Structure 1
Amino acid sequence: MNHDINIGALKKNCFRQSKVPGEFMLQMRVPGGLIDAKYLKVIEEIAQKWGNGTFHLGLRQTLNAPGIKYENIEAVNAYIQEYIKEIEIEMCNTNMESNSAGYPNIGPRNIMACIGNSHCIKANINTWELARKLEKEIFPSPYHIKLSISGCPNDCGKGHFNDFGIIGVTKPIYLKDRCIGCGRCAKVCKKAATRVLKLVNHRIEKDTCCCVGCGECVEACPASAWVRPEKKLYRVMVGGRTGKQYPRMGKMFLNWVTEDVIVAVIKNWQTFCANVLDNKPFYIHGGHLIDRAGYQKFKEIMLDGVKLNPEAMVAQRILWAETEYRSNINVKPLCDHPSPGGPYTPKSKVD
């Protein structure tokens, strides 16, 4: 067995180390989680020819082939050259070359997305089309980012637990002349959303302060008195993460913004990372990076040069809610209570 294998370089190349010495798992990117079914033949060939005959649907919607021997990685990289060209360069228009070296970087994780309004009746946006537009803004890059897109505030893509969670929202238009006064929209809003609708004198009144833009009223109305406008709008959650030590749910950064704003903001991510890390990239969750810089600095850089649409709302500050672990013995907390948007300060663990 060759003990000089550069695990870090292979990880960057999208090969994950196995518990079996000398074996690795390829992670093939599927931006937005949607590709032509013909590409299943690619992962099938890899799994059967170089892997152990199985493939794994990665939790970030990658196509994974485990059981690849180290000595076969070069052949696998050569084989996926055409796939990378068709997916990354032709479909997503990324600024990269396709060659026999395989994937150039794993820093930006695969962009996740639910099926969106290409299928789901509840979705407000086309998720996978947006994913492909954003792919070219983040990949390839040495700076890490986990990004998820959901078609509606149900957030099936779990954007609340990503560095960036982009959620499709809508501002439904109420056409009162069509309303038949049945109250179904108010009932579904009470049951499934934020209870902002009520039936008064056979017409609907809305408290706009707490509408989350889900569009449930549109789906519920039998008379099409509620309709989605053509203008697509988005919500952006930031700083969410899983993990052993400080898991937390993301908080709202932007609301009611357009696709142009989304693209412009994500374009600034690498600039933000380079600024905070002094142009020395290494693996760090986006949420931790925001903590290190502080929310105000994050907001300043991420919105630099971004033209906000009239409806846009920006969080002026973010108060994070994190888990603090304590044991049942006499110990100090692992960390001081964090300041808003700021980093934790380590403390000694034991008196």
Structure 2
Amino acid sequence: MISKDEISRLKGEGILAQKQEGYFSIRILSRAGNFTAKQLNDLAQLSQKYGNGYLGVTTRLAIEIPWIKYEDIENLKADLKEAKLAHGGTGKKVRPLVACKGTVCQHGTYDTQKLCSKLHDKYFGYNLPSKTKITLVGCPNNCAKANTNDIGIVGQVYVKFNEDKCKNCGLCTKPCRQKSVKIVDKTLVWDKDECVNCGKCAQVCPFGAMEVDKQGMAIYLGGRMGRGYRFGDKLNNLYQEEEIVELVQDILDTYKELGNPEERICKVIDRIGFDAFEKALMDKKCINE
């Protein structure tokens, strides 16, 4: 019989007890959701050697090898180290970071993979009052549901409309899935409240009537899923890619200062109010600058 303390220790390393006595799943970390072809080959071989010959993909873009016998764990860890593969991803800390494929997706407004890799290298495993999830998406399609994470980063393109330049041709209405730009009585009408800041209208306008005003990232704080979902609250400012790494540090420091043990960011915000959290964050950001 494996002791509870031993099971807890292994869980802290990303080695999770299965409900089948004596068997474990080991969680191998990706880097921004990516593995090399060689790494996948190595994982396939390890799953044959130690497991039942298959792999599972987690919602945080890690890979798990299940059906590992307890007595094989140390040998598997050594083989993973030799293959330069890391395991982990549990506990009161920053969990595996997730990014959409905005780097190669035609809708992506910034290099999600590059930025996620930077954040992974700096913050993965960072100790906090409770688990903290960070997700990056490249556009308002929000494929990876960034606003249901503790920290969500969403690519945004703010546009401005110059009526004097508009020819009312309707070209910009075709890529607008929100129908925030439309022709009414042969005149183009832009509904700012319906716009989600994808910037598609500015890409196709040949007359400069729809132009990019600002481009950057919206930051959502306090989202979560699971037992009681919550959508994150959006910070007032739009941020540039070069600001994000330091901004995330300020967010985590603010959370550590304001949060109680076991309290996720959403619970801190619910307790003190989002305005108070944002003010504390902005005060810290000003001091650090």
The TM-score with structure 1 as length reference comes to 0.69
Q: Map residues 58-137 of structure 1 onto 2, 5 A cutoff.
A: 58-82=58-82, 103=88, 106=91, 107-116=93-102, 118-137=103-122
2:247 is the counterpart of 1:257: no
Deviations 1:31-51 (A, max 9, x none): 321232222123212211112
Point out the more displaced range, 23-32 or 226-235: 226-235
Q: Which amino acid aligns with 1:265?
A: L
Report the CA distance shift for 1:50/1:256 in structure 2 as closer, same or farther (over 3 A). same
- Structure 1 unaligned regions, length at least 5: 88-101, 308-351
**Partners of 2:61 and 2:7 in 1: CA distance:** 23
Q: Which amino acid aligns with 2:201?
A: C
**Partners of 1:306 and 1:194 in 2: CA distance:** 37
8 Å CA contact 2:135, 2:146 repeated in 1: yes
Aligned pair count?
283
Report the CA distance shift for 1:286/1:181 in structure 2 as closer, same or farther (over 3 A). same
Q: Which has the higher contact order (CA 8 A, sep 6+)?
A: 2
Q: Map residues 212-231 of structure 1 onto 2, 5 A cutoff.
A: 212-218=196-202, 221=204, 223=206, 225=208
Q: Which amino acid aligns with 2:222?
A: G
Report the CA distance shift for 1:83/1:202 in structure 2 as closer, same or farther (over 3 A). farther
8 Å CA contact 1:109, 1:145 repeated in 2: yes
Report the CA distance shift for 1:142/1:51 in structure 2 as closer, same or farther (over 3 A). farther
8 Å CA contact 2:164, 2:209 repeated in 1: no
3-state SS of paired residue (2:109): coil
- Structure 2 unaligned regions, length at least 5: none
The TM-score with structure 2 as length reference comes to 0.82
Tell me by how many angstroms 1:290 deviates: 3.1
Tell me by how many angstroms 1:276 deviates: 3.3
Point out the more displaced range, 170-179 or 230-239: 170-179
Of 141, 158, 169, the residue aligned with 2:156 is 169
State percent identity of aligned pairs: 29
**Partners of 2:23 and 2:10 in 1: CA distance:** 11
**Partners of 1:37 and 1:178 in 2: CA distance:** 50
Q: Map residues 35-46 of structure 1 onto 2, 5 A cutoff.
A: 35-46=35-46
Q: Which amino acid aligns with 2:142?
A: D
3-state SS of paired residue (1:24): strand
Which residue does the alignment assign to 1:330? none
2:273 is the counterpart of 1:287: no
8 Å CA contact 1:179, 1:223 repeated in 2: no
